[in-house]
């Protein structure tokens, strides 16, 4: 009885290598090399049809690593081919799975040909989910939701750099300003004055400066400025030569933050516009707008490919390592973080919004926050995101809009 044909393709920007295996793991012919362009694709298809014609498989599995975007055109083209008498499934495999599987062959060298063989052999062992055409519907929007993720991460990095530079220039500034450290008025104050000038200027003059650069939106400006002046009096004084260069670095870092924040605002409008054409399910939850809904929906794709909310949590990496040996069971467990980082980010961001806008999730967050003394906010937020996964799966799998009775589901 004819079996399956397994084809592993090692992808690169210039050329690809394909290894053909039968159901027993025996190679069919040598490794086939072809360019990663339309001409190379045509050559590969000729080889594929020739081998399929000679061996008459009833199923053809084609797999490749999800390496950058080098696999995209190949997968899109292969998804459209048909072969009489054989079903074709495509797989884009996480490189971590291939790397882990390769450890079963400790003596294999690191070459593209060997990598193609390992991919094909991984296909032969199964337990992989093929690419669904429904998932490709969300792919265009995923390009911009992932770009937004990267921008947010860059903003976070720039803010961390700014915090370090701020300590050099004005060591107690963060303690005095707190969450308002990156407000426009606070940043302008850092750019305009030295620590000594802040400490010596009349209170009224600094209040006027803060109001002028903060669009009169700062509550209790006198109290705010008074705290800053106290901080200035207690701060270190930086060497003037060092101060000039620190000021330049800090000014440019803050400009980077402002630029990226403006780009994110523009991108949010694009995401909202594109997402409006999709089924509006998750954004019916109070506190979850279109941007967060788009990020979650596009990364999940076709919800029918997941067996349940536990599978969705595993896909997002919202599961925990269990450490056990004999009677010993570790009390502290770490997050696996082995799933989709983009989906995990948007789920956690959604959980953070829910704790502010939904009484049930706020109570759950507070309960988890109070259970421990270490990593309280992060732990409670991730656990809230895990709880939210159940609601996400229920809404998407049933195509329902949100109602208050579903929150404890």
In angstroms, rounded to a whole number, what is the distance separating the alpha carbons of residues 369 and 378?
Answer: 9
* Rounded distance between C-alpha atoms, residue 378 and residue 382, angstroms: 6
Residue 136 falls within a domain, yes or no? no
Based on the fold, state whether residues 261 and 148 are members of the same structural domain. yes
What's the total number of domains in the chain? 3
- State residue 344's pLDDT score: 96
Residue 283 and residue 167: Cα distance in Å, rounded?
A: 40
What pLDDT is stored for residue 1 in this prediction?
36
* 209 and 153, same domain (yes or no): yes
Domain boundary pick from 131, 163, 185: 131
Q: In angstroms, rounded to a whole number, what is the distance separating the alpha carbons of residues 78 and 44?
A: 10
Strand intervals (E) in 46-143: 59-65, 87-93
pLDDT at 184: 87
Domain boundary among 131, 165, 196: 131
Listed residue (331, 309, 313) closest to 322, CA to CA: 331
- Residues 165, 207, single domain; the answer is yes
- Tokens for 329? 């069971």
pTM: 0.84
Give the model's pLDDT for residue 405. Answer: 65
Q: Specify the pLDDT at position 134.
A: 59
| Boundary of a domain, candidates 79, 100, 131 | 131
Asked if 386 and 355 sit in the same domain, the reply is yes
Residue 208 lies in a domain: yes
Structural domain boundaries enclosing 204: 142-272
Residues 68 and 34 in one domain: yes
For the domain that residue 63 is a member of, what is the CATH number?
Answer: 3.30.420.140
Tell me, yes or no, whether 283 and 334 share the same domain: yes
- pLDDT value at position 216? 67
CA distance 392 to 309: 8
Do 373 and 267 share a structural domain? no
16 and 123 fall within a common domain:
yes
Task: Return the CATH number at 207.
Answer: 1.10.287
Residues 91 and 186 in one domain: no
Judge whether 137 lies within some domain: no
Q: What are the mean pLDDT values of the chain's consecutive 10-residue runs (409 residues total)?
A: 84 94 93 96 95 91 88 90 86 88 82 88 90 75 96 96 94 90 89 91 91 79 91 92 92 95 97 91 93 96 90 92 48 70 96 94 96 92 96 93 68
CA torsion through residues 181, 183, 187, 189, sign: negative
In a domain, 188, yes or no: yes
Question: For position 325, what pLDDT does the model report?
Answer: 45
pLDDT of amino acid 19: 96
């Amino acid at each position: 009885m004819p079996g399956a044909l397994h084809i592993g393709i090692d992808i690169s920007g210039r050329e690809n290598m394909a290894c053909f295996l039968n159901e027993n793991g025996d190679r069919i012919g040598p490794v086939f090399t072809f360019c990663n362009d339309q001409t190379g694709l045509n050559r590969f298809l000729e080889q594929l049809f020739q081998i399929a014609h000679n061996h008459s498989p009833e199923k053809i599995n084609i797999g490749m690593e999800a390496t950058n975007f080098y696999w995209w055109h190949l997968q899109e083209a292969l998804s459209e081919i048909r072969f009489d008498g054989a079903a074709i499934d495509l797989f884009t495999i996480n490189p971590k799975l291939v790397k882990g599987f390769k450890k079963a062959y400790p003596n294999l060298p690191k070459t593209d040909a060997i990598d193609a063989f390992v991919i094909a052999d991984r296909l032969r062992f199964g337990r992989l989910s093929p690419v669904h055409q429904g998932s490709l519907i969300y792919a265009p929007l995923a390009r911009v939701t992932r770009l937004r993720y990267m921008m947010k991460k860059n903003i976070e990095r720039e803010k961390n750099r700014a915090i370090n530079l701020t300590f050099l220039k004005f060591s107690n500034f963060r303690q005095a300003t707190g969450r308002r450290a990156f407000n426009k008025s606070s940043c302008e104050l850092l750019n305009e004055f030295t620590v000594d000038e802040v400490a010596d200027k009349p209170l009224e003059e600094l209040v006027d400066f803060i109001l002028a650069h903060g669009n009169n939106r700062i509550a209790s400006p006198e109290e705010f400025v008074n705290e800053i002046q106290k901080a200035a009096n207690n701060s270190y004084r930086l060497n003037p030569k060092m101060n000039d260069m620190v000021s330049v670095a800090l000014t440019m870092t803050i400009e980077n933050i402002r630029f990226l924040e403006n780009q994110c605002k523009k991108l949010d409008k694009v995401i909202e516009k594109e997402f409006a054409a999709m089924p509006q399910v998750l954004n019916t939850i109070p506190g979850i707008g279109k941007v967060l809904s788009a990020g979650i929906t596009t990364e999940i794709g076709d919800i029918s490919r997941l067996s349940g909310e536990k599978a969705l949590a595993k896909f997002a990496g919202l599961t925990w390592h269990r450490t056990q040996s004999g009677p010993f069971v570790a009390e502290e467990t770490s997050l696996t973080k082995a799933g989709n980082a983009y989906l995990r980010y948007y789920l956690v961001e959604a959980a953070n919004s829910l704790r502010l806008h939904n009484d049930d999730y706020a109570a759950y967050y507070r309960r988890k926050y109070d259970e421990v003394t270490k990593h309280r906010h992060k732990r409670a937020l991730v656990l809230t995101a895990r709880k939210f996964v159940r609601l996400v799966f229920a809404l998407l799998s049933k195509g329902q809009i949100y109602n208050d009775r579903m929150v404890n589901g």
